[in-house]
Structure 1
Amino acid sequence: MPVCVVVLSDQAAAEGLTQQLRDTDVPLLMCQAIPPEGNAIDSVALLSPNLTRQRRQKAMARWLMPFGFLAGVTFTKITNLTTFAAFGPWGETLIGGLMGMGSGLMGSYAAAASVDSDNEAGVRILRNRRDEGSWLVLVETPNGIEAPWQVVQRSRPQQVVRLNDL
């Protein structure tokens, strides 16, 4: 999905551009004005590194936790360690699997925090512009369809940041 963010100096320009974009014949998946104050930018997944990291962590946990469980069960059976022998042979195996599952969960947090997204530089620029008092207009179009650039240019933007195709 092609995504661009238009940086504008004031609220009237941002709301005017948003309305003009919605009035065009170009299909838009998202057209949203983001004010410079408040936490509205943190609720937009494309512009919030924290939301992106949380989504990545949950996706990784779906894979790492089941494999961690299987690895824990396998390790318990292969090594013949009797760390949890008081729980019996099935209880010991189950606890080993649960510990492996916990390791998979911890691994998903560590891995998700260590990977930067492709749009990190662009998002940092946009967050800085917003902190300086500029309004942001997020424009997202379906694959293969360009944003209405003529309408965007008529609004005299301070900057247009095109995020990588997602």
Structure 2
Amino acid sequence: MAICVVVLPDAEAAERLTQGLKNSDLPLMQCLTIPPDSDAIDQVELLSPNLTRQRRQKAMARWLMPFGFLAGLTFTKITTLTTFDSFGPWGQPVIGGLLGMGSGLMGSYAAAASVNSENEDGVRILRNRREEGRWLLLMETPSGIDLPWQTVQRSRPLQVVRLSEL
């Protein structure tokens, strides 16, 4: 699928392009207009690094926390450390497992924050254009169908940023 964002000078140009896309027979999976004075850009995962990072962190936590629990449990069992001996023979490995699970959670935050998005430069450009008062139009087409470049060029965009083409 092809995803791109068209930067337009004003609301009138954005409305004309949106109507032109709706009147064309091209199937669009997504066509979203983002005005400069709203926080709608923060609600779109493709254009919000924070949403992408949160999704990545949650996905990593689903894997790292159970493995951390098992690693903490195993470490407590195979070593002869008696750090949590007051919790008894069953409580000591469970406390070690919970500490390992907490380590997995912290690791998911660190790992998610250290990975940069593939579209980071394009997203930064688009956020700057929005702060300049420009309108953004996010378009996504199904796999194998190219974007309607002739319709887009007729609207005289200031810039077209291609985010991905899968």
**d(CA) in 2 for partners of 1:76, 1:51:** 36
Q: For residue 160 of structure 2, what is the aligned residue in structure 1?
A: 160
Residues 125-149 of structure 1 show CA distances to partners (whole Å, capped at 9, x for unaligned) of 0000111110000001111111111
- Paired position in structure 1 for 2:101: 101
Q: What's the CA shift for 1:35?
A: 0.5
Give the corresponding residue for 1:92.
92
Pairwise CA RMSD: 1.0
**Is the Cα–Cα contact under 8 Å of residues 29 and 141 in structure 1 kept in the other structure?**
yes
Aligned to 1:51: 51
SS in 2 for 1:145: coil
TM-score (norm: length of structure 1): 0.97
Q: In structure 1, how many angstroms separate the alpha carbons of the residues matched to 2:2 and 2:87? A: 55
Structure 1: state its 5+ residue gaps: none
Contact 1:36 1:134 (C-alpha < 8 Å) held by counterparts: yes
- Stretches (4+) displaced over 2 A: none
What letter corresponds to residue 60 of structure 1 in structure 2? M
The size of the alignment, in residue pairs, is 166
Question: Quick one: distance in 1 between partners of 2:52 and 2:9?
Answer: 27
Q: TM-score, normalised by structure 2?
A: 0.97
Name the residue aligned to 1:8: 8
Gaps of 5+ in 2: none
Which residue in 2 is equivalent to 1:125?
125
Taking the aligned partners of 2:68 and 2:46, their CA distance within structure 1 comes to: 30
Distance 1:125 1:44 in 2: 15
Q: Partners of 1:107 and 1:142 in 2: how far apart?
A: 36
Residue aligned with 1:164, SS: strand
Q: Check whether the contact 1:22–1:31 (CA below 8 A) recurs between aligned residues.
A: no
- Residues 36, 130 of structure 1: 8 Å contact kept: yes
Alpha-carbon distance in 2 for matches of 1:15, 1:112: 37
Q: Could you tell me how far apart the structure 1 residues matched to 2:22 and 2:72 are?
A: 54
Partners in 2 of 1:48 and 1:120 — Cα distance? Answer: 9
Return 79-88 or 118-127, whichever deviates more. 79-88
The aligned residue for residue 75 of structure 1 is 75
- Specify the SS of the correspondent of 1:110: helix
Identity %: 75
